Amino acid sequence: MPDSLEHKRDLLRQFRKRSEEGGGPDRVAKQHAEGKYTARERIDRLVDPGSFLEFDKFVVHNCRYFGMDKKQFMGDGVVTGIAAINGQKVAVYSQDFTVLGGSLGGAHAQKIVKVMEFAAKTRIPMIGINDSGGARIQEGVVSLGAYAEIFRRNVDCSGIIPQISLIMGPCAGGAVYSPAMTDFIFMVDRTSYMFVTGPDVIKAVTHEEITKEELGGAGPHSAKSGVAHFKCTDEDECFERVRELLTYIPAACDAPPTRLATTDPVDRENVRLREIVPANPKKPYDIKEIILDVLDDAHFLEVQKDYAKNIVCGFGSIGGIKVGVVANQPMVLAGVLDTDSSAKAARFVRFCDAFGIPIFTLVDVPGFMPGVGQEHGGIIRQGAKLLYAYCEARVPMVTLITRKAYGGAYDVMASKHIGGDVNLAYPTAEIAVMGVEGAVSIIFRGELSGLNGDAFAAKKQELVDGYEQEFSNPYKAAELGYLDEVIMPEETRSRVYRYFEALTNKHQSRPHRFHGNIPL
């Protein structure tokens, strides 16, 4: 009988099956042939087994133009719902390229908006898997308005819940701006790309010829533009990195902090660090060696590791306390701050502050990068972003000067003056307005002006030695209270842990205002 209970149950089974088929076996096979999983397979591989609860499985579009009434698919090209990752509840949407090329129309966007609002209400991270041909042209301005609805939710969620974007296929035109407003972007090498205007448009307008991969692939966006935070070799690695990231960040801005389990003793001596900083101040060393030796189990999740390599940002833990790490990298451009590194670090500091993640800053910086290109590229504005981010931060901040801290860059790198809670230094630290050679040449210009040859060299060396003895050490700053302690390198882990432990209940209120005006 048509109205029997079993008939109704069969109907539900049929609807479920139709929804789960996506665009059909031929299109699914094509997706697989391109080295890509389907929308549902991606969710299954990302989340904890059996944890996914789907929303809006039977939604279809209502467009009747251009024969679209004959092209209706249940789910309308996007799978949405809630799940768990490492036991942490998350919201997720996954665009289905097998259905109308994953194109976004009104119904498609409404599903995404609904799950985003659910995530914001329930204070859980929002993960978007992007694989779409862009706006559904047949729906005209409806699709444009639909994108704007998503953009507004991105802004509403910003700083409240973490937003993570996985680019696993095309993401072009206006579609790129939703991921761009999220906290982290993951891209897959050779199968994902992002750009506002594609190669064909660029060729028509500027006559430049370039491939999709060269223009907007994971390579250029992780190394040149800085758009991508993580570049992955394949989709499975991407899912692993997302799961790893979620172990370090909270579910929401107001979620109570949690600690990571570790068997790494908090009082472990950093024996390897005794000789890490070279006696020669001009000799480079790898700051990551210090980071890895201090963090629990030598585990560090670096963010944007291929972009602006003169500064290092990422997540780790010390004695189970989750921290964000910002460090100048002497191995690249001597660790100098330039336009790209300033903006990279500022964005990372603001994320940590928004979500209550303590910040551990390691300083070895000779100053800001000089040059016409840097000045005209906005080093003043970009450097001010990092200064603003640190000044605004209210999370616990521990700063360690390992060697150079020169000029305005000393101030900017979480100094005591702009809000560092605990400021430490190694005995090798040099805190000064500028390097010794430059300072001596300016201060003692008169004494040196009449000398030549050996006399000049001997006098300058005498002045350099005197300046180094007086200023190229951490003790003047410690005498003034700008440093809280000078520590031995082997003490780093235990000291930093104890300071972060003491700062656990730090509370610092902000003045009432709508919002500050960061120099964008």
Q: Which residues are catalytic?
A: 173-174, 408-409
- 186, β-bridge pairs: 166, 230
Contact present, 175 and 155 (Cβ < 8 Å): no
Contact present, 420 and 398 (Cβ < 8 Å): yes
CA–CA distance, 80 with 312 (Å, rounded to integer): 35
CA–CA distance, 220 with 216 (Å, rounded to integer): 6
> What separation in angstroms does the CA of 389 have from each of 205, 332, 346, 422, 518?
38, 23, 6, 17, 8
> What separation in angstroms does the CA of 8 have from each of 12, 14, 16, 147, 423?
6, 10, 12, 36, 69
DSSP 452-478: -HHHHHHHHHHHHHHHHHHHSSSHHHH
Helix H segments across 355-444? 372-376, 379-392, 407-412, 436-443
Question: Which has the closest alpha carbon to 273: 286, 282, 263?
Answer: 286
Residue with tokens 């991270």: 125
> What separation in angstroms does the CA of 134 have from each of 106, 157, 213, 352?
13, 23, 17, 32
φ/ψ of 482, rounded to 5, equals -75, -20
Contact present, 209 and 221 (Cβ < 8 Å): no
Question: Which has the closest alpha carbon to 367: 392, 323, 403?
Answer: 403
- In 3-state terms, what secondary structure has residue 418? helix
> What separation in angstroms does the CA of 223 have from each of 180, 231, 416, 501?
16, 9, 32, 36
Query: What b/e string do you get for 157-184 counting C-beta neighbours within 10 Å, with b at 16 or more?
Result: bebbbbbbbbbbbbbbbbbbebbebbbb
| Cα diameter, the chain | 111
CA–CA distance, 93 with 106 (Å, rounded to integer): 15
DSSP 126-183: EEEEE----B-GGGTHHHHHHHHHHHHHHHHHTTTS-EEEEE-SEEEGGGGHHHHTSS
- Side chain identity at residue 44, one-letter code: D
